Structure 1
């Protein structure tokens, strides 16, 4: 049996995990440094963000650049697949969080050889938002960019909504096919087509036996009994299709293979590639037992295995469990799969001797155009209103402090219906905001502070929260751009614009069980208070109360957006963590304003 000797997990609140790390805030930079020092003949770092890992012998003029990326914690994905014949660069995000647009842009500029770039990433809200923003910036720099979001997990949505599925270990095959197509000299459309065809013919499903833990919290990010398994578990610990008692390996393999084969047209004589992937704490002994059964099932159908990979290729920190992925082959995909590549995590065939790193003298480069910032004439700004720029900054700093204080609670809320990192991610972003504001000029306008906050949050976080809050801050700042001090109407306009920014960037509506469910009623309540001749404090108090009502209402809503959307009815009964953090922010703004104005 796939047995796992673990403590009874019925009360995991006091469980602390052990990791070989230094300071949690340094884990990504130190891991990248260690990776580069281990593979200096294959990898280097480019760009100011320090998060773009680039192939020494990959990018070159005239070749389509392959840029992959995603959160850390899935090693060897993603940077482990950077090298000649596969990916040219990887953007490395925080643990379980998408890289930011700046980090992705660094990778894109390093990979660009004048033929455009293809972005490949898992189909998660944060990745989609951040890579979309990076693609917009690439267009402004003259770099054509196409995207393929890998959505291979059959457990996460029905086949008629396959575009909503999440990506798990199928990234492995899509990356390999796209990298080979680019290496073969195909143009941007041809590489994108090859990647999309690979995705359409790649199906995966996984099982989890134990939880993983975020390095920042040291706590399991979900609960599972010592004798239980979760069928269809996501790569970040998102709950799957069902939870049941631990079964024998053959039974589990049958259950994983059944939905995969139900969707794949594999008549007798078909060929497939197989990936049996460990999630971080499952040894090869068990993985080979799974592959044994996979081979039996395919053999009974007369399906030939062209090649198999068994091992850890897309992990989930230290989670125990595994996934099975099949790629249906035709002549083209078979040839691309067999093409040589050389990366830290995957070598196929023999590649040519690595050349010296390309330089700006031999490669096409695109220069950043300086952005024009229109100078604000302070004498033209409205000065009525009690909220000065200094008070506004104190409100934002208080919000950051409250998020830090509540980070563990927010992550625990997220661990129930998500991947358990919301509090961690928000804390990282708001710490960056606080630092940026504390270093800002004392006479800086509210709009300029909002721009500073947007850049700080987005550069620090990525994930879904990065683009959402960056957009919120930018829209809110623009809404009060004609003012030096804020009166009650301006404060309400700020909250409304922030809410609308989150709503539009996330393409979410009230009732979807997201932070929008707190931002929108908070803004509506603030507007209603203003209509009753409310002052600044009354409007902020109303916003806090409205956000609290919206937050509590999410408990009875079935999630329709984000990672928890895959849970369906299982998300009912749990408060949305994004709505909870919104409530924290608005209440902190009120408290800071009250302290300053009372």
Structure 2
């Protein structure tokens, strides 16, 4: 496969270097808040008594999301890795920075990783006394039928929904009113896209999907998720007609009504081509007697260097039109003239955030010493650390395979994401002390994964190790029964956090049979090692079985029957994880 070319340094440093560049380019608009370096706040926006607007998502979609932080739009953005949600900590840092006592609204595209991470941040914010509400953008009409519209992805329609919410908050509407008009805008926003060529992740420099020289794909997602049909490349007018056909099937427009129109480039499509699409959209709207109140043509929500475009229509009424025209000033968008407030900037360090404790201390601290006898087993803390280090090595070995699996039915970054997570775990293990038991080690693993990985794997694996570690509380080591309980707790944690069940084509399809076979081995009198080996076999069987089922959860769920014949990458990484743990334990016990 041909390698792509990018102007980058070390790909592992691309996000902090990008943020440094953004802040250096717009010091009058943006500042950093918190310790993670991933939360950016408006210099002139957050203020006392105003609803705070926090947006966020994966990098690679610039100018979304940080480009829409500024006066009259979003107050802060939490920035994730490429195509991966930010973890809860930068979301929480952004939340604290914009909390002016009137509540905070989270806005992001409807992807499982974003949902889990933002929900975890909202839970923590609530514990600190900050009221948080959420609106998930669901404008992609290709990603689910009308009766399941709540499952749709958020793509270029983020732009309109963010704009409406930011304007309502800037006008000092209360939280209920901001949420109501934002939900209204979301219901009135419809998008369809087309891809002509792939993008590539900085870590792999390989196209994350393939299209023939004369092919296009209608309905493809902004992470490279497969669309609804692939076929020969058509003319600009034919493509526009196909996109509008799906939109007009749901968007009812009467003569005399108005819309806002966004023709969005995905990264490497010329303005010339985008204006051809706009021309054709206007012809259709003119025929319907519908006028375009305002047009936006250019790159607003991209997908790295993907070739292609999307069309978004926002059906307007007087309220939405007024909010669309409300002044804002951000790095990527200026509407009208924003006048500085008489009391000056109220951005970073503006004094509205609340004092909070150090979350890292709470998460990573060793478990309290439990008096009395501490049951042991073959898996001591030292051996457990060696098992986890072996998982990191195995993931590194197999990360290209995992990304290739994900490229077929997802966005092609699973191996990269898992590599980032397990690399962070390796660094966390360097901090393990002689006093740390298995529960304390698991807390370190959970925090490392959660902080490093914003994709769905982050909160899923963090929850798995939190629950598994808790199952080992009070123990000096794991015997066979404790190991089986450990695996079962991890599996249940993933099921609950991801709201997935066997048959949904997720990592749960590997974890559940792993726990089941480990339990069966224990009932047969198997050793600790044999129980873990049985879990690895169960995970392998579950992984292979995912090829025979259609996805019902996660990004690949949008494919339906098209996901048949392909192994789920999350189930594959589960198998790699459990097999590596078993191999390391076998070596340790020789």
- Asked if TM exceeds 0.5, the reply is yes
Asked if residue 195 in structure 1 is aligned to residue 182 in structure 2, the reply is yes
* 1:129 equivalent in structure 2: 116
Structure 2: distance between partners of 1:335 and 1:133:
34
Deviation, 1:405, is: 1.2
* 2:356 equivalent in structure 1: 368
* 2:476 equivalent in structure 1: 484
Asked if residue 99 in structure 1 is aligned to residue 86 in structure 2, the reply is yes
SS at match of 1:428: helix
SS at match of 2:249: helix
Asked if residue 315 in structure 1 is aligned to residue 307 in structure 2, the reply is no
SS at match of 1:263: coil
Aligned counterpart in structure 2 of residue 435 of structure 1, from 427, 430, 446? 427
Structure 1: distance between partners of 2:501 and 2:164:
37
Structure 1: distance between partners of 2:499 and 2:370:
35
* Equivalent residue runs for 1:140-219 within 5 Å: 140-219=127-206
* 2:567 equivalent in structure 1: 575
Contact residue 265 and residue 274 of structure 2 kept, 8 A? yes
The C-alpha deviation readout for 1:286-327, integer Å capped at 9, x for no partner, is 000000000000000000100000000000000000000000
SS at match of 2:177: helix
Structure 2: distance between partners of 1:550 and 1:536:
21
Q: TM-score, normalised by structure 1?
A: 0.96
* Equivalent residue runs for 1:18-167 within 5 Å: 18-167=5-154
Contact residue 69 and residue 121 of structure 1 kept, 8 A? yes
* Equivalent residue runs for 1:580-595 within 5 Å: 580-595=572-587
Aligned counterpart in structure 2 of residue 561 of structure 1, from 553, 559, 563? 553
SS at match of 2:90: helix
Deviation, 1:378, is: 5.2
Deviation, 1:375, is: 5.5
Deviation, 1:262, is: 1.4
* 1:518 equivalent in structure 2: 510
Asked if residue 272 in structure 1 is aligned to residue 259 in structure 2, the reply is yes
Aligned counterpart in structure 2 of residue 397 of structure 1, from 377, 389, 393? 389
Deviation, 1:353, is: 3.1
Contact residue 74 and residue 317 of structure 1 kept, 8 A? yes
Deviation, 1:365, is: 2.6
Contact residue 381 and residue 484 of structure 1 kept, 8 A? no
Structure 1: distance between partners of 2:470 and 2:60:
37
Deviation, 1:329, is: 0.3
Aligned counterpart in structure 1 of residue 376 of structure 2, from 361, 380, 384? 384
Aligned counterpart in structure 2 of residue 233 of structure 1, from 216, 220, 244? 220
Q: 1:236 to 1:272 in 2, by over 3 A?
A: same
SS at match of 1:147: strand
SS at match of 1:118: strand
SS at match of 1:20: coil
Q: 1:312 to 1:360 in 2, by over 3 A?
A: closer
The C-alpha deviation readout for 1:213-258, integer Å capped at 9, x for no partner, is 0100010001111100000000100000000000000000000001
SS at match of 1:209: strand
Structure 1: distance between partners of 2:62 and 2:279:
25
Structure 1: distance between partners of 2:358 and 2:266:
44
Structure 2: distance between partners of 1:350 and 1:360:
22
The C-alpha deviation readout for 1:143-192, integer Å capped at 9, x for no partner, is 10000000000001011100010011000000000000000110001111
* 1:306 equivalent in structure 2: 293
Deviation, 1:377, is: 2.5
* Equivalent residue runs for 1:290-305 within 5 Å: 290-305=277-292
Q: TM-score, normalised by structure 2?
A: 0.98
Contact residue 141 and residue 369 of structure 1 kept, 8 A? no
Deviation, 1:115, is: 0.7
RMSD: 1.3
Deviation, 1:385, is: 1.1
Deviation, 1:369, is: 4.0
Deviation, 1:504, is: 0.6
Deviation, 1:357, is: 4.2
Contact residue 42 and residue 347 of structure 2 kept, 8 A? no
Structure 1: distance between partners of 2:38 and 2:64:
14
Structure 2 residues not aligned, in runs of 5+: none
Deviation, 1:52, is: 0.6
SS at match of 2:71: coil
SS at match of 2:254: coil
* 2:210 equivalent in structure 1: 223
* 2:316 equivalent in structure 1: 329
Deviation, 1:360, is: 8.4
Structure 2: distance between partners of 1:369 and 1:27:
30
Aligned counterpart in structure 1 of residue 411 of structure 2, from 412, 419, 443? 419
Contact residue 141 and residue 367 of structure 1 kept, 8 A? no
Asked if residue 245 in structure 1 is aligned to residue 232 in structure 2, the reply is yes
Deviation, 1:331, is: 0.4
